């Protein structure tokens, strides 16, 4: 179990780093777009510059930034309302937290399944993005992988919390 946790943690950290790169790339794309639009009135050479797909690039970079952070943050983002659990023992609080992690498991599983089906459909039909004609299948498969990893990490943390009655290490 420790080896599986270690492998999943490392994959989640790699995805977190890639999500950070996607977020920075998204920022640069937006800055480029804003600068070119605003400077085109001042610099005549920029008026002739034609580029397409900025919205698509930002949209899919944002998608990957969000999906890439979810597997890493699933254990760390649990907030159990203290008002209801403050008088419970530490073991009971850990079990309630594990119960909520099962909700993340279900959410991640359904999202991974839906995205996998959507990716398969996009791959079979050859669906692409409207402007840049980027195939949507790999984008949806990558997002499905992230959601599946989130679900798996939530399930393992929930199993540990339910069986041991100890809170997961965040």
Q: Is residue 69 part of a domain?
A: yes
Answer whether residue 153 shows pLDDT above 60. yes
Q: Is residue 82 part of a domain?
A: yes
User: What pLDDT is recorded for position 80?
Assistant: 56
Q: Could you tell me the pLDDT band of residue 83, with boundaries at 50, 70 and 90?
A: low
Report d(CA 111, CA 88) in Å as an integer: 33
Q: Lowest mean pLDDT: which of 35-44, 52-61, 124-133, 137-146?
A: 35-44
Cβ contact 160:98 at 8 Å: yes
Q: Where are the alpha helices (DSSP H) in the chain?
A: 2-39, 54-73, 82-85, 90-125, 136-164
Cβ contact 101:78 at 8 Å: yes
Phi/psi at 131 (5° precision): -90, -50
Answer whether residue 1 shows pLDDT above 90. no
pLDDT cut 70: percent of the chain above it:
92
Tokens of 132: 């840049």
Host domain of residue 63:
2-164
Q: Is residue 21 part of a domain?
A: yes
Q: Is residue 169 part of a domain?
A: no
Tens digit of each residue's pLDDT (9 = 90 or more) over 28-73:
999 999 988 888 888 887 777 778 889 999 999 999 999 999 999 8
Q: Is residue 50 part of a domain?
A: yes
CB within 8 Å of 42: residues ≥ 6 apart: none
Q: Is residue 170 part of a domain?
A: no
Look at the chain and report how many structural domains it folds into: 1
Among 31, 134, 13, which residue's Cα sits nearest to residue 73? 13
């Amino acid at each position: 179990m420790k080896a599986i946790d270690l492998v999943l943690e490392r994959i989640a950290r790699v995805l977190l780093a890639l999500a950070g790169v996607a977020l920075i790339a998204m920022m640069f794309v937006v800055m480029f777009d804003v600068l070119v639009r605003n400077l085109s009135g001042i610099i005549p050479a920029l008026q002739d510059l034609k580029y397409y797909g900025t919205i698509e690039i930002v949209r899919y970079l944002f998608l990957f930034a969000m999906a890439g952070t979810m597997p890493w943050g699933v254990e760390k983002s649990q907030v159990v309302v203290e008002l209801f659990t403050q008088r419970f023992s530490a073991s009971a609080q850990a079990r309630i937290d594990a119960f909520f992690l099962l909700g993340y498991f279900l959410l991640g599983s359904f999202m991974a399944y839906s995205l996998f089906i959507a990716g398969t459909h996009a791959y079979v039909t050859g669906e692409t993005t409207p402007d840049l004609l980027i195939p949507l299948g790999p984008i949806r498969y990558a997002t499905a992988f992230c959601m599946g990893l989130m679900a798996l990490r939530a399930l393992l943390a929930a199993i540990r919390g339910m069986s041991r009655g100890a809170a997961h290490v965040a």
